[in-house]
Amino acid sequence: MDFESEREWLDTRFDELWPITRSITGPGFRESLEILQQDIPFEVESVPSGTEVFDWEIPPEWRIHEAKLTGPDGEIYADLDETNLAVVNYSEPVDQRLTLDELDSHLYTLPEHPEATPYVTSYYERNWGFCLPHNTYESLPEGEYHAYIDSELDDDGRLNYGHTVLEGESDREVLLSTYLCHPSLANNELSGPLVMASLYNRIAAWDNRKFTYRFVVIPETIGSLTYLSEYGDHLQENLVAGLVLTCLGGPEETLSYKKTRREDALIDNVVQHIDQYMEPSLRFRPFDTRGSDERQYCSPGFNLPVGQFARTVYAEYDGYHNSMDNKDFMQIEALVDSADVIEQVLETFEYAGYYLNQKPYGEPMMSKRDLYPTINNPEESTRDDIIQIMMRVINYSDGENSILDISERYGMSVDEMKVAIEQLSNTDLLEPAPQTPEYHSPTTNFN
Amino acid sequence: MDFESEREWLDTRFDELWPITRSITGPGFRESLEILQQDIPFEVESVPSGTEVFDWEIPPEWRIHEAKLTGPDGEIYADLDETNLAVVNYSEPVDQRLTLDELDSHLYTLPEHPEATPYVTSYYERNWGFCLPHNTYESLPEGEYHAYIDSELDDDGRLNYGHTVLEGESDREVLLSTYLCHPSLANNELSGPLVMASLYNRIAAWDNRKFTYRFVVIPETIGSLTYLSEYGDHLQENLVAGLVLTCLGGPEETLSYKKTRREDALIDNVVQHIDQYMEPSLRFRPFDTRGSDERQYCSPGFNLPVGQFARTVYAEYDGYHNSMDNKDFMQIEALVDSADVIEQVLETFEYAGYYLNQKPYGEPMMSKRDLYPTINNPEESTRDDIIQIMMRVINYSDGENSILDISERYGMSVDEMKVAIEQLSNTDLLEPAPQTPEYHSPTTNFN
Amino acid sequence: MDFESEREWLDTRFDELWPITRSITGPGFRESLEILQQDIPFEVESVPSGTEVFDWEIPPEWRIHEAKLTGPDGEIYADLDETNLAVVNYSEPVDQRLTLDELDSHLYTLPEHPEATPYVTSYYERNWGFCLPHNTYESLPEGEYHAYIDSELDDDGRLNYGHTVLEGESDREVLLSTYLCHPSLANNELSGPLVMASLYNRIAAWDNRKFTYRFVVIPETIGSLTYLSEYGDHLQENLVAGLVLTCLGGPEETLSYKKTRREDALIDNVVQHIDQYMEPSLRFRPFDTRGSDERQYCSPGFNLPVGQFARTVYAEYDGYHNSMDNKDFMQIEALVDSADVIEQVLETFEYAGYYLNQKPYGEPMMSKRDLYPTINNPEESTRDDIIQIMMRVINYSDGENSILDISERYGMSVDEMKVAIEQLSNTDLLEPAPQTPEYHSPTTNFN
């Protein structure tokens, strides 16, 4: 890239993406995707409104042109031109004159943060409304208001998403998924796609990739449902791990990991393994049904091994879903730090999995492969670390014990084992295990 | 019922049942069953003497008319008319004159409780004898005694038992089993059938029953063997839980639960779950091969999920199997308290089991079923408890996690989850899991 | 035997075996086997040089006649006639005159133990050399040396091993394996075969054997590989436990047990069980890939339940693989003590396994087999220990719970249970479980 630093690059992208009026469908989402395509070569797909996705239906495409709430005094009290949050997302068109009383049920505020404008949506039930600071609301004069929203809800519209893969040695996949539907929110929107952009570029630059990496950017919830309805079978067959990226900026020093529904998938155990060697430590959250798109990936019919990384977690900070969630609150530096940690997790995951000893009957003869001294002399100790690690890897690589299992068994880090794994992989002794149901175990009662 | 209170009712039944000369077969058992039929509509079955039941054979039917031990001084030292315990249960007829020395091996006493008459039986080997207080025994004069027992051992007799079911929504069954063969013993006999009578009436009055409840009253050991030989296959197929009721009166404040042979059947875990919220706490006993009819239900070929409730446990109190086990020792109030706890266990068990999410691919759309707000407004928090519980139930109801598992996972009580389960069950989202091998797992090596 | 004591017997054998020039092949190995055949009726087998055994190939047979290193001063600095360690094992023939510089890479010493001669081998790559004390090496004069080794490496040779079985009631087998290839080393060579001789004679003298005992003496590594290539399938089918015997003399008070690769095979659990009752306690070592022939038996394709007993463990003492490992260091008394402990382990193992209750539906009727009193009298308690144990054994002998499991469940030792097991085995109630996959579970990914 042509930026002086990753930090500068992400800062620039943030400013390009911030002002766009996004929703789960519509031109704002597509425009945002195009901006991201500068960094990640997404293929953009579209699915028509009205398509059934499992228990849901893709809603009409929403397009918003103008939204203004004008007071009896001619003052404009809410204005889409001022902030994308001013209009309830997915508002139907309205051009009405009403008293303050009649208007009241269409106004949304945050009494406990009277200066902030809330972010409100109504995707699946037709409604309209304006969002404004509670202080403004309190000072609204009596009289006739003009509520004007120029929007379309197009049944012939579509939902869009972007995805791409970085191919690796194996066609088993690691999924990175984030969403791109909240307008003008920083931590709980732009942090995810920006960290994904960083990770795409880092992983593309790796010397080699053992796994194939899949990058998915979608509108939250309906987007992951749509993605699963199209690629769920593929993911069930190929996915060895996944991470949802959300809320990765913010002031918390500690990155936090929400476990997969299984809570002991290999990715869960790798994150816990790495945490032993990490300063500051990670925070771990159990799987629960509140969260982001992992709710869909980890629904029981799929039960995919998908965890989630976040820093300043949704619903845990004052600015959650309101205008205080801005660039001041979310630090670009925190995004870089998040990407550092997640890259390290993925690098370790590359080695942590299941291999199969190709000479499992008796020990293989190491010396004929130049992996072992030919003379057995007590002076020239064979307890040399690397040989010891190779022998352990060979013995336990039976398709049931992962490299991570071996590392924990002997109190080593996976990092310390990488050289031995590479040396063995370069001979005829070690191959990745062809089938590894241990990476994930779909719930079978539904199949 | 026409009694002023459950307490009064059970007190009356106790007095009706107490004087009857019962054994494992014979008219006393049938008369006792008839008395119980006032409260539980038992169907009474009979199986002929001589029938093989697994490794056993049903013994002849025993009928006892008179039993008197008259001393050289004309004094009657043991008399069936005075106490049912005076004669060894299943004594063969005898009409002999013998010296005290010759008589001695036919006399049974309790030296450590010299005022008490022991309860002695000899069902499977022909014998006869008298039971008397050790003090009386010590004062017996020398001389010729007249041992007179007028009894019959009828090879053409039968063994009887009573059983009935209260049907529920599912034909999967919960078994309540107790015995009715000891004459004139209170805690270790009448407490069980009386608590069963109470439970029958309570469960019959429930608004609805998810499970079918089976009530079985039998002679101990040979009765449960007989029942298993006739209904063992049915129970293996349908039973989800069972409780043996024994020794439920007595002065102990704490009710105690003996675990099933599996020790982690759902019923075991439900009792342990409830115990966390119960004051006073329950006492837990491991499974062992000493006890009541759970010894048969939990024999390894059946391995049924049958636990046992007791209060003042057999073999742990001075009055065990002797005349001190009377109504003074066993309190009617304790029976009511036992029924309270056991009913609570069963009410929780109704909800604690396995369900299947009917929309397992992705989250179901809750708002179209009016289970979720249609507008997403941070002010109107969706973290509302009931929604949270519903989402958890939906996610984990995969046939592998029980409601109890979900409750323990999130630190809730099953009670707190009932409303959510009912709401979900009223939609198309949740159904009881059709096959639930998890309720019990018969040992397969014998099949 | 005709010795005054086991101690005297083993002492005599030690002295017979010590001077022989052994290697992994050749006449020394065969001569040593013949000496051992006085105590264990080994059948001696041979496999030709050049035979492929898994990833290995049996090397040529090595015969050594003379090895002398003569200095420029006529002094002999290394001499096979003085010590078997003087020549690098498997040296090819050489008859060269060289300077000290040219000679240097063929000389092996132990700088940290300058008085000791190291034990060096080069089985699989052709080489030659002499071993000598570092002190001697330091004082070698400059000048021309005569290196003379009169040896043969015969491609038409063979590898030999000895094996035999002591048959028992069952054809399931317990393996005892040791090696016999190091010349003139005590703890790390002769201790193993001598303890095996002791155990053979003890086990042969047992009243009865439930299992068949297999005794195997081989050259280390290539011998166990060869044995597995010939008997691996048989062992996978029949082996219920195995022990490698190595380093069983030495001054350590505590015997140590290296667990099988599975670490929870029945043999592992039996050793841990016994340890609770043993003074001094055993030391436990985890499975690892450094060790003796268990490395082959526990390679993942076989994954046999083979542990290892040692006292003063290889690589943990100064004399390891050098001339300090002699009879002064290794005490005969320690061998007897090792045999005592291992015999006790095997005696307990005989009872610790899996049985099948033959009357699993309901309790069996004990009284008709004279295993239970016929009269039920509280005075004559049925809680009699032996009955209690029998009932527990009967209930849990379902092929899934071992006697060891039952013993640990109820806090008894297996020893305390022997009488009950014998009594039950003498009736029709208890049989050894016919198939017991629990004894070991071969890794299936390779099959």
CB C415 within 8 Å of CB C278: no
- Bridge partners of residue C163, in order along the sequence: C43, C216
pLDDT at B438 over 80: no
The pLDDT score that the predictor gives to residue B378 is 60
Measure the CA–CA gap between C447 and A401, rounded to whole angstroms: 17
Give the pLDDT confidence score for residue A443 in this predicted structure.
54
C285/C324 Cα distance (integer angstroms): 25
**Sequential DSSP letters for C294-344:** HHHHTSTTT---EEEEESS-TTSSTTTTBTT-STTTS-HHHHHHHHHHHHH
Residue C443 has pLDDT above 60, yes or no: no
Please report the sign of the dihedral spanned by the C-alpha atoms of residue A345, residue A347, residue A350, residue A353.
negative
A182 interfacial to chain B (CB closer than 8 Å) = no
Burial class, A368, CB count within 10 angstroms (exposed 0-12 / middle 13-18 / buried 19+): middle
List CB contacts (< 8 A) between C286 and chain A. 409
- The verdict on a CB contact (< 8 Å) between A356 and C288 is no
φ, ψ of residue C25 to 5 degrees: the values are: -140, 175
Residue B102: partners with Cβ closer than 8 Å, 6 or more residues away: none
Q: Residue A197 in contact with residue A248, Cβ under 8 Å? A: no
Interface test with B, best of C368, C377, C436 (most B CBs within 10 A): C377
**Residue C170 clears pLDDT 60, i.e. is over it:** yes
Min Cα distance A241 → chain C (Å) is 22
Structure token pair of residue A151 = 């929007």
Answer yes or no: are the C-beta atoms of B210 and B350 closer than 8 Å. yes
Interface test with B, best of A87, A131, A181, A446 (most B CBs within 10 A): A446
d(CA A287, CA A258): 6
- What is the pLDDT confidence band of residue B435, given thresholds at 50, 70 and 90? low
Average pLDDT, chain A: 94
Sort B440 into a burial class: Cβ within 10 Å, 0-12 / 13-18 / 19+.
Answer: buried
- Assess contact for C355 and C422: CB atoms under 8 A: no
CA distance C60 to B262: 59
Residue type, B223: G
Distance from C299 to chain A by nearest Cα, in Å? Answer: 5
Burial state string for B115-136 with b = 16 or more CB within 10 A and e = fewer than 16: ebbbbbbbbbeebbbbbbbbeb
Task: Pick the range with the lowest mean pLDDT from A78-82, B228-232, B431-435, C237-241.
Answer: B431-435
Q: Residue for token digits 């090596």?
A: B445
Please give the average per-residue pLDDT across C343-358, as a whole number: 96
Closest partner residue to C375 (CB to CB) among B54, B120, B322 is B120
CA distance linking residue B49 with residue B58, whole number of Å: 5
Paired with A145 in beta bridges are A98
A-facing residues of C in 26-65 (CB < 8 A) are 53-56
Q: Do the Cβ atoms of B127 and C359 come within 8 Å?
A: no
> For C204-222, how does the pLDDT look when each residue is reduced to its tens digit (9 = 90+)?
999 999 999 999 999 999 9
Q: What is the mean pLDDT of residues B78-88?
A: 98
Give the closest residue to B236 by CA, choosing from B176, B172, B167.
B172
CB distance A22 to A182 below 8 Å:
yes
Q: Which chain A residues are within 8 Å of C300, Cβ to Cβ?
A: 357, 360, 395-398
Cβ pair C318, C282 in contact under 8 A: no
CA distance linking residue B351 with residue B344, whole number of Å: 12
- Asked if C328 reaches chain B (Cβ–Cβ under 8 Å), the answer is no
Q: Hey, of A52, A55, A122, A324, which one would you mutate to test binding to chain B, going by the most B CBs within 10 A of its CB?
A: A55
What is the number of alpha carbons within 13 Å of residue A369 lying toward its C-beta?
Answer: 18
Give the pLDDT band of residue B372 (cuts 50, 70, 90).
confident
The dihedrals phi and psi of B18, each to the nearest 5 degrees, come to -55, -50
H or E element at residue C134:
helix C134-138
Q: What is the pLDDT of residue C74?
A: 97
Pairwise CA distance, residues A417 & A409, whole Å:
13
Q: Does B417 touch chain A (CB under 8 A)?
A: no
Backbone angles phi, psi at C416, to 5 degrees: -60, -20
Q: With contacts defined as CB-CB under 8 Å, which chain A residues touch B397?
A: 300
Is the pLDDT assigned to residue C352 strictly greater than 70?
A: yes
The pLDDT value given to residue B370: 87
Q: pLDDT by residue (tens digit) across B317-326? A: 999 999 999 9
The token pair at B144 is 């010729």
Do C81 and A390 form a contact (C-beta atoms < 8 A)? Answer: no
| Whole-number pLDDT of residue C439 | 60
Higher-confidence residue: C371 or A193? Answer: A193
Mean pLDDT of chain C: 94
The whole-angstrom distance between B306's CA and the closest CA on chain C is 13
HSE-up (13 A, CA, CB side) for residue B127: 21
Q: Which two tokens stand for residue A443?
A: 């719930």
Coil, strand or helix at A52: strand
Residue A333's DSSP bridge partners are none
Closest Cα to residue A403, out of A425, A374, A370? Answer: A425
Max distance between CA atoms of chain B, in angstroms, equals 99
C103 Cβ neighbours under 8 A, 6+ residues apart: C69, C145, C147
CA dihedral sign, ordered C386, C240, C164, C182: negative
Question: Is the pLDDT at C382 greater than 50, yes or no?
Answer: no
The segments of chain A whose pLDDT lies below 70 read 1, 373-384, 435-445, 447
Cα(A143)–Cα(C170) distance, rounded to whole angstroms? 100
Is-contact C356 C430, C-beta < 8 A? yes
CB–CB of B367 and A124 under 8 A?
yes
Task: Report pLDDT digits (tens) over B84-122.
Answer: 999 999 999 999 999 999 999 999 999 999 999 999 999
Structure ipTM? 0.92
Write the residue in B122, B296, B300 that is nearest to C398 by C-beta.
B300
pLDDT at A346: 98
Q: Note whether B228 contacts C391, CB cutoff 8 Å.
A: no
Interface check C376 vs B, CB under 8 A:
yes
pLDDT digits (tens, 9 = 90+) for B253-262: 999 999 999 9
Amino acid symbol at A447: N
**From the CB of residue B350, how many other CB atoms can be counted at a distance below 10 Å?**
22
pTM metric for this prediction: 0.92
What type of residue is C358?
A: Q
Pull the structure tokens for residue A242.
């996944």
Instruction: For residue C73, give the nearest of C92, C54, C95, C100 by alpha carbon.
Output: C100
CA quadruple B364, B365, B369, B371: dihedral, nearest 10: 90
SS3 B197: helix
Per-residue pLDDT tens for B228-244? 999 999 999 999 999 99
So what's the pLDDT on residue B158? Answer: 98
Q: Is the peptide bond before A280 cis (omega within 30 degrees of 0)?
A: yes
Question: pLDDT digit string (tens) for C51-67?
Answer: 999 999 999 999 999 99
> Residue C381 CA to chain centroid, in angstroms?
48
Mean pLDDT of C421-445: 77
Average pLDDT of span B283-297: 96
Secondary structure element (H or E) that encloses residue B242, with its range = strand B239-245
The CA-based dihedral angle spanning residues A218, A223, A224, A228, taken in that order and rounded to the nearest 10 degrees: -110
Q: Is B382's pLDDT higher than 50?
A: no
